[in-house]
């Protein structure tokens, strides 16, 4: 079962950004399938400067951090969870404005192609210190 959890004052809406595709590079991702997700973070009443997004993945899956990824990886998927967060550096510019949204693109690499991976599982987003 897929669940959406919300850590007030932040909500998240996940979606598959494009159709999954096979990976062949770098070597550690060879024969895996990329599932590009977009997570739309929405702030309620105040700006959210520091945030994190987590979702669960099956054994062997991992985050695929390409050259356009600006967020920090906390958990890479090796323990069954992918967790990313806003960059730790001050003034990173990836703030979720009050009443507005910020889209965060994350690609997960899975060992096989399955329809159930089209939606990330147990998605959670929250404001952090």
Q: Which residues contact 27 (CB under 8 A, 6 or more apart)?
A: none
Please tell me the distance from the alpha carbon of residue 90 to that of residue 113, in angstroms, as a whole number: 38
What is residue 9's predicted lDDT score, i.e. its pLDDT? 78
Tens-digit pLDDT string for the chain (129 aa): 455 555 567 899 999 999 999 999 899 999 999 999 999 999 988 999 999 999 999 999 999 987 678 999 999 999 999 999 998 777 667 889 999 999 999 999 999 999 999 999 999 999 997
Are the C-beta atoms of 16 and 129 separated by less than 8 Å?
no
CATH of 4-127, one of 2.40.50.140, 2.30.30.30, 2.60.40.290, 1.10.3720.10: 2.60.40.290
Global pTM reads: 0.88
What is residue 92's predicted lDDT score, i.e. its pLDDT? 66
Please tell me the distance from the alpha carbon of residue 9 to that of residue 46, in angstroms, as a whole number: 8
What is residue 1's predicted lDDT score, i.e. its pLDDT? 45
What is residue 65's predicted lDDT score, i.e. its pLDDT? 85
What is residue 91's predicted lDDT score, i.e. its pLDDT? 65
DSSP the chain: ---EEEBTTEEEEEEE-S--EE---SGGGTT-EEEEEEEEEEESSS-B-SEEEEEE--TT-EEE--TT--SEEEEESTTSEEEEE--SSTT-S--B-BTSEEEEEEEEEESS--GGGGS-EEEEEEE--
- Which phi and psi angles does 117 have, rounded to 5°? -85, -5
Burial of 49 (0-12, 13-18, 19+ CB in 10 A): middle
Domain ranges for the chain: 4-127
């Amino acid at each position: 079962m897929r669940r959406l959890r919300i850590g007030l004052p932040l909500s998240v809406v996940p979606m598959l950004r494009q159709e999954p595709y096979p990976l062949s590079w770098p070597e550690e991702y060879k024969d895996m399938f990329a599932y590009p997700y977009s997570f739309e973070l929405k702030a309620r009443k105040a700006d959210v400067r520091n945030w994190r997004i987590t979702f669960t993945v099956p054994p062997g899956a991992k985050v695929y951090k390409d050259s356009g990824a600006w967020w920090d990886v906390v958990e890479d998927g090796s323990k069954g969870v992918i967790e990313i967060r806003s960059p730790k550096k001050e003034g990173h510019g990836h703030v979720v404005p009050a009443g507005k949204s910020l889209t965060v693109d994350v690609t997960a690499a899975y060992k096989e192609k399955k329809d159930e991976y089209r939606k990330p599982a147990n998605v959670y987003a929250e404001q952090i210190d």
